[in-house]
Structure formats: C-alpha cells, structure tokens
Structure 1
C-alpha cells in the first residue's frame, strides 16, 4: 500500500468512525473482508494455526488476532494496543431544554475535552440506542445523523470584552448545543426524535419506543489533508483512531508465522476501568483461552510484548516552551517513543531498544518525548496493560497538535511510517526477549 493509498483509506475511516461503536463497525468490516471470523465468546474456540479471528466487547472494544504457525507461548504474542474513544460531549439521559425560544440538549463532558474549539462548529450526533420492539425483547442499534444538526454559538465579543484575555467555559451552562427554534411551550421529546431516526436508518427494526442511549455530538467536517503540500492530516478523533487504523493495517499485512494481536479498548479517556476498558478482563481472558493452561499462559506472558500506540504531543511552534528542550517531537519527523520515569508510560530500555532496531530496519526515523520536569504527564493503556498482565510494553505515538480538541492535526507521513514499523514488529522472527 502506498502512502497515498494509506492516507486515503485513513481519512475514510476517520470520517466514518464517529463514535467508538462506529469505529468497531468500521474495523470489523475491514477484518471480515480480509478473512477474519468472529469468535463466539461462549463457545469452544479450538484454535488452529492460520486462523484469523476477532471478538468485540460492548460493541465498542475489539480484539483481533492471528494464530501463527509457531507456538504462541514459546515465541510470544506480538501485540499492538490502542483505544477507540475520544473526548466529546455526550447527551444526558433527560436532556431536553427550552431557553429563550430555542430547543437545546443538555450534555455531559466525556474525558479531558478542550472545550473552546467546540464553539461555532457544525455538530452532528451519533451513538448506540436501545429500544423495544415487542413486549419483552431488548434491541440495540447504531444511529448517526450524518449531517449538521446543532451548533454551540460563541458569545459575541461586544458582550464579553475579556473573552480574548480570560475566557472560561462552564460545562453546565455554556456548552448546550442549539438544535432548533422552539416558539411554543411544548418541548420536543428527544426519545421520539431518536425513534424517527432509528426507523430511517433501520426501516425493518420495528422500534416501538426508545429505552435508552449513549450518544455524543461530533464535528461533522470530514477528515482532510491540509497544508501547502498536504503535509498534515486534520480530523476529529485522531487520538486515537489513527492508531487503531494503523495497527489494523499492520495486522492485515502480517505474514502469519507469528501470533499477532490488535487490541482496541474503549474508555481510555476516562481511566479504562470498565468491562471494555484496558482495566477490564478482555485481554487477559483471551490470552488465557489462547494459551490453554495457566502454565502456558505464564510462558505466553513472559515471551510477549505490546506496543501501546497513542498519540504524542508534537512541539507547537507558538508554545515551544511547553516542551523539554531535547524532547520536542516534530510532525512528519517520525513516530515518538514516550518515556516517563514515574511509569505514566510503560516504556523501558528493552522495549524502546527493540523498537529502534525495527525502525532502523524500515529506515523510519524515531523521536522521543519526555514531559517537562515541572509539568504533569498524561498516561495510556500501556502501564495499565503492563501492570494487569505482566507483558513488557512500549509506549509510542504519532506527534499531534491540539490533542483533545474537536479537530486535531498530525503529519501525513507519520501514520504510514508507524504502520511500517508495526508490520515489522508483527513479522519479527523468533524471541522478543533480549539475548
């Protein structure tokens, strides 16, 4: 796949994957087209060399793996981890608001959202809906309005003269999206509006009433290449759907000799403690079934390695002093090894060293990020996975601007380069442990 083809498919994926649920659907479609089969969570897997399998959890997390021709416990599982969720504004359970003649929806902030960029954007709405179709049967389906549906207008500068000096956003009162004019006193029933959308997207669902939902607003502007020479990718949800897609492409190109796995967890942005998050049982329970016995699971853990791929902070030319002098990654200058002495990242000399060897073989440049010593450091699924499973882990990511904004920016060469190294990692022969 050429870099141009890679980016074309990446942009299509980013635009389609408007929620974690839609991201999993997009990933599953590509996996099934490549011959991967869904595993029944309750059945006997009876895995054989050459099988290509996947399973999902909560419709928002995905785990895909190939059974290599060589024994997984003896040679290890080559694993890449990422997450499907992104900071956003989620609709509250009883959201209807009528203020000053406008119909609005109450929202709750999900994750560490950079709130100011959400103003004056064309917003749409997507997610999962549970509904009744008959007296006793619960059904779920995904919805996505796929058109500008709402907006959060800024307050004019004339009414807030200090906006450019000290603007703050109250998440309870300032960010309610406007959906419509509402002249009369009757507030629309949001669940009825959702039912109409359900029937439009799923005409055969026979939805009688909406029971509940998990819905988020998103920027309706599609992902795009920008810059004089199209050297940047601008999109919502680059953190961390870019890594999900890159890991998927590498897995699809694995040669099948080694056992390889892609883990895409939900709920990373809110701590990962859920049934579908990295602190949940999905990964370890799957490894246990692959290994077959506790003794072989111990072998598998000892011989395996995970690359946790999650975006890194690129050095912003307008705020260069926010970076350590020697650790300011540039866009399109290579993927970034993320290091933190206090274990906010799981990288150690062994895992970083292996990555550098693989990158050199692919002639891909490598950068390093260490947060300033006087600033706090974020974290990833890397330390959670390492601590929960005992698997050696590396934290790495593509340098990015405006992380956790409604629209982020990355280099148009970096994701493809990361994908090349991840493919090399999946195909790395023999042991992953140092001699």
Structure 2
C-alpha cells in the first residue's frame, strides 16, 4: 500500500506547528543526552503542568480522583507518568512506553591510566554499536560522581563552545594496510575504545628526585580535584557516559530532517511526553513510561523487566480507594499500549537489506510493526488483528499519517522492544515509532514530518475510550 508523503498534506498552520514541535524536540535532545538528564528534564516539564510526585501524594494521605496527575521516578533513570481518567483504573489504561537509554560508551570503575605520557580513560561500550564509527569524533563526558559522604557531583564536559572535547584515536591510513584487511566488527576492538584524556605533565618540584613517574595522570587528577573535589577512588562510584559532543541540528538544504545523537529512542520518548502533556481530561487513565536499559535487554531495577511499574500501579489502585491485588491485575490486563521504538528507514544506499513493500519510509508518518523479533519472529510481540483495527481507526480519526513495516528482510536480522514484556500482563500491545536513518550510529537522522506525526499519533492514542 502506497502512503502519501506527509509534507504534501500540510496547511500553513500545520507547518508552523510542525516546526514548533521539532524545535522543542531538538532542545530536549540537547538537554537529555543521558537517562538521568532525560529524567531531570521530564520532571521539570511535567511539574510545570501540575504533575505531583506519588511520594508526596502518599505522605499527604490524599486519594486519587479523575483529573489528578502524578508521577514516580525509579533511581533517577526511569519514570512513569499518569493522568487519572474518568473510568476506574481496573478498566485499563492507555499506555505510551519508550526507552531513554541509547548506545554509548561507558567509563569503567578503574579507568584512569597513563601510557607513554598520554592519559586515557578505560571504557566499556553499551548497547549495539559499530565500534569503528566512534573513533576520531569529538566526544563529551556526561554523568555523576557519587562521593562517600552522599554528595552527588554532576559532570558535563564537551557541550559548551568553551569546553574541551575528547577523542578515541584511530590508526593513520598510511599505516593501516593490515587493519583494513580485518572484518568491520574487529577493525576497532572494544579494548581500543579508550578515551584520550590528557597529555600535559604536572608541574614538577625543583627536587628532581621527587619527579612524578606518571606526571600526566597526576595532572589529570589535580584538575579533577580542583573542578570536582574528586579522588581517584571516586571513579568506583561514578557513572560517566561518553557521548558525541554537539547539538541536534537541522539536516538537508531544505531543513526537512534532524541529525542528532540518541534519537533511538528519544524521538519516541519526547514525542510521547509532548502528547502526554498536551492531554487534559481523559476517559481512560493516560500513562507514559520512559525506561532505561532497553539497549541491553531491559534488565535491572530501571529496565522494563523490573517490577517498578507494576508496584506503582498497585499504589495507584490503593490510592484510588480500591486496594486489591485482583484489581491491579485487571488494571494491567485491560490496558492498551503503544510500545514505541524507532524503526529502520528504507535507505536506497543499502537497498539490499530491505524488502521494499514492508519497509518504513521517511516522511510517511508514524510506523507500526505488527511484530518485531528476528527471522521466525523470535523474541517478538505479535499484535492481534482486532487491536490493529482499533489503532487504524484512532489514527484515521486523528488525521495521523501512519504506515506499517517490518525491520529489514526476513533472514537478515531483526530487533525488539519492550512490547513483549508488557504483553506478559495480557494487555494489548503493538510496536510503533519513528523511521530512522543511521540507527545506532553516533549521529542518527529523522524526518521532521515523522516527528510531528508521532506526536499527533500518540495524542490520538491517548484519546481512545
């Protein structure tokens, strides 16, 4: 089925709203390059709209009623947001779910070392990356240092014009004949992704007998002490993430696209958040889940496999005056969800990887995947036909441009989202999202039209009765 290019359908007013949505989206991408930053930004945005912390509601012994807006945060890396609807919770919720972690490079817990008067940070990459894409780029360092006294020190180096940036070096082409014979997955090995961190030795004492053996490392530690009151052992309780330095930018001479780091899956996360904030009175309770750890299997306390979401729903049921394990289970089973994650956009430069009739295309709207998984649908959620019909009806009613697709050719690969996890509750779930070029690369590309249609589509979904 051929879908119309969404750019051909917009009125001047819609084009204005499209640009406003995308400018806001770019600002969010710049402010939220890590999970913690995304959560901090989200909390500030939802509190401006009247959302209250669930912990505050519990402390005040208040009960929840239709129209109330609450949220709960897990370890500063995941959040669930609720707009309480007119219907009882046990009738189910309309849930938007996306993840806010992205492929990156993490700093190890014993990272700082000196080699031939160059200082490095030892690293471990996170998520599925092509390692060779991360060398010779300007890189930034984001994260926190947790000190023994309970102090949390925030780190953000490389984003301001006056900041230094960092780099992972590569072998010059003149000496790379052997390197270029290697397979792409080992051209750069994981242990060679160490971050070049400094090269200037510390100023020495006049007493040459006391000359520092690792003077460059000593100078780095002197600077870290000066800037962050940090000792070397504080690396043990630090979470430092290496991400591409630089802001989200318009892409293309026609300004029709966005190029930025972390659009998998923050393009779905932020458009879901925008939709949630723009919805006021709802019939069914509206929910937005932004979670961590999807890129490594949705594990841990802040991933979707955690019981955090289920526990929060139990709190909501209790605060609604209906505390009951059975009602919690009914609430979950009767819910409907869009598991929103990015889809692979058809790339004519690599057409051999795609089956064109089942591909997602730029500027043709929000993408739905009846199933994901790999090859024989392994690891997939497979949405019911009846639910697909309901989704189609909601999108058409909201005048949303949308398309249905799969992730590449059947036998080539595949992928998954958090959909199969939520489907364990027996709720209706379908994968949806935005088509992306260069997915999982340091810089990814989206269509502004698709960002706008995703926002419209998520609003239309939250209105389902």
TM-score normalised per structure 2:
0.84
Question: In structure 1, what is the equivalent of residue 35 of structure 2?
Answer: 20
Per the alignment, do residues 92 and 47 of structure 1 end up closer, same or farther by CA in structure 2, a change over 3 Å counting?
A: same
1:413 to 432, 443, 449: 449
- Deviation digits for residues 109-156 of structure 1 (CA, Å, limit 9, x no counterpart): 111122222111111101122113xxxx42334321233431113211
Q: Would you say how many aligned residue pairs link Structure 1 and Structure 2?
A: 417
Structure 2: gaps (5+ residues):
1-15, 202-212, 318-322
Is the Cα–Cα contact under 8 Å of residues 95 and 190 in structure 1 kept in the other structure?
A: no
Matched, 1:150 2:166: yes
Could you say what secondary structure the match of 1:315 adopts?
Answer: coil
Shift of 1:53: 0.9
Could you say what secondary structure the match of 2:363 adopts?
Answer: coil
Aligned counterparts of 1:401 and 1:380: Cα–Cα separation in 2: 18
Per the alignment, do residues 102 and 80 of structure 1 end up closer, same or farther by CA in structure 2, a change over 3 Å counting?
A: same
1:40 to 55, 70, 78: 55
Question: In structure 2, what is the equivalent of residue 260 of structure 1?
Answer: 286
- Deviation digits for residues 146-197 of structure 1 (CA, Å, limit 9, x no counterpart): 3343111321111113656645344343221112114562323867655544
Shift of 1:393: 0.7
Aligned counterparts of 2:84 and 2:231: Cα–Cα separation in 1: 40
Per the alignment, do residues 9 and 405 of structure 1 end up closer, same or farther by CA in structure 2, a change over 3 Å counting?
A: same
Per the alignment, do residues 195 and 290 of structure 1 end up closer, same or farther by CA in structure 2, a change over 3 Å counting?
A: farther
- After TM superposition, the structure 1 = structure 2 runs for residues 379-398 of structure 1, keeping only pairs within 5 Å, are 379-387=416-424, 389-398=425-434
- Deviation digits for residues 320-359 of structure 1 (CA, Å, limit 9, x no counterpart): 1111231121111111112244452443323322222122
- Deviation digits for residues 267-326 of structure 1 (CA, Å, limit 9, x no counterpart): 111111111110001111112222231222233223211111100001111111111231
Aligned counterparts of 2:222 and 2:307: Cα–Cα separation in 1: 36
TM-score normalised per structure 1:
0.89
Question: In structure 2, what is the equivalent of residue 202 of structure 1?
Answer: none
Matched, 1:185 2:221: no
Per the alignment, do residues 278 and 70 of structure 1 end up closer, same or farther by CA in structure 2, a change over 3 Å counting?
A: same
Question: In structure 1, what is the equivalent of residue 400 of structure 2?
Answer: 364
- After TM superposition, the structure 1 = structure 2 runs for residues 268-283 of structure 1, keeping only pairs within 5 Å, are 268-283=294-309
Per the alignment, do residues 171 and 195 of structure 1 end up closer, same or farther by CA in structure 2, a change over 3 Å counting?
A: farther
Structure with greater helix share of residues:
2
Is the Cα–Cα contact under 8 Å of residues 109 and 171 in structure 1 kept in the other structure?
A: no
- After TM superposition, the structure 1 = structure 2 runs for residues 11-410 of structure 1, keeping only pairs within 5 Å, are 11-40=26-55, 43=59, 46-74=63-91, 76-132=92-148, 137-145=149-157, 146=159, 147-161=163-177, 166=182, 167=184, 168-183=186-201, 185-186=214-215, 187-188=217-218, 193-198=223-228, 210=234, 212-258=237-283, 259-291=285-317, 292-338=323-369, 339-340=371-372, 341-371=377-407, 372-387=409-424, 389-410=425-446
Per the alignment, do residues 39 and 226 of structure 1 end up closer, same or farther by CA in structure 2, a change over 3 Å counting?
A: same
Q: Tell me the C-alpha RMSD between the 2 structures.
A: 2.3
Structure 1: gaps (5+ residues):
200-205, 430-435
Could you say what secondary structure the match of 2:383 adopts?
Answer: coil
